[in-house]
Amino acid sequence: MGTMRVLVCLAALGLTFQVAAQQAAIAASSPKPPPESRIWYPADNYPALSLPDGRQEVVRSMLNITLPMHFGDFVWNEDRIPKGPVWVRIDLTRQLLSVFRSGHEIGSAVILYGTDRKPTPTGIFPILEKDRDHYSRSYNAPMPYMLRLTADGVAIHGNNVREGWASHGCIGVPVEFARRLFAVARKGDLVAIIPLKARTAKPKAQSH
Question: Hey, what CATH topology would domain 3-206 get?
Answer: L,D-transpeptidase catalytic domain-like (2.40.440)
Show Cβ contacts of residue 119 under 8 Å, excluding neighbours closer than 6 positions: 169
Mean pLDDT to the nearest integer, 172-186: 97
Show Cβ contacts of residue 200 under 8 Å, excluding neighbours closer than 6 positions: 93
Q: What is the pLDDT of residues 89-98, one digit of tens each?
A: 999 999 999 9
The pLDDT of residue 167 is 81
Mean pLDDT to the nearest integer, 190-194: 97
- The separation between CA 168 and the C-alpha centre of its own chain, rounded to angstroms, equals 20
Mean pLDDT of all residues in the chain?
Answer: 81
The pLDDT of residue 165 is 72
The pLDDT of residue 82 is 96
pLDDT over 60 (residue 20): no
More confident residue, 57 or 27: 57
Q: What is the pLDDT of residues 132-162, one digit of tens each?
A: 998 877 776 788 999 999 999 899 999 988 8
What phi, psi does 186 have (nearest 5°)? -125, 160
The pLDDT of residue 115 is 83
Q: How confident is the model at residue 208 (pLDDT cuts 50, 70, 90)?
A: very low
Mean pLDDT to the nearest integer, 124-139: 90
Give the residue extent of every domain in the chain. Answer: 3-206
SS3 content of the chain, % helix, strand, coil (to 5): 15, 35, 50
Q: How confident is the model at residue 35 (pLDDT cuts 50, 70, 90)?
A: low
Q: What is the pLDDT of residues 51-103, one digit of tens each?
A: 999 999 999 999 999 999 999 999 999 999 999 999 999 999 999 999 999 99
Mean pLDDT to the nearest integer, 155-176: 88
Distance CA 52, CA 75 (A): 25
